[in-house]
Amino acid sequence: MRRFLIIATLVLYSLMLVACNSASNKLSKNIGPTKQDCKELAQGAGALLIEADKLWDELRNIPENSSERHEPASKIKWLTDIAANYSVYYETFCK
């Protein structure tokens, strides 16, 4: 009985190792964004910067001491921060 338990344990252990190794190989091959993901990411960052540029034009037409400047300025900051995050991701995973 003891010999059977040892053999059964070894067989189950080796099957678990094979299964984990197979899953690990599949995972390591499929990690990362696809070329299409990278293309969409770059286009998204570009679109955000285009919107920020439009807001810059709007901001230039508002007098400097006006309280109306706060909203476009905060939108510009938000858009450029997101575009910067997209750029970091692109540089890290797509280059």
Residues 62 and 23 in one domain: no
Q: How many domains does the chain have?
A: 2
Supply the pLDDT for residue 12.
62
Q: Model pTM greater than 0.85?
A: no
Cα angle 88, 89, 90 (rounded to 5 degrees) comes to 90
Residues 42 and 22 in one domain: no
Over the stretch 41-83, which tens digit does the pLDDT of each residue have? 999 999 999 999 999 998 898 888 888 888 899 999 999 999 9
Comparing CA positions, the residue from 74, 81, 94, 71 lying closest to residue 45 is 81
Residues 20 and 65 in one domain: no
For residues 5-22, give the mean pLDDT: 66
Residues 54 and 74 in one domain: yes
Residues 48 and 60 in one domain: yes
Residues 41 and 12 in one domain: no
Residues 73 and 90 in one domain: yes
Which residues form the domain of 48?
33-95
Comparing CA positions, the residue from 45, 77, 71 lying closest to residue 58 is 71
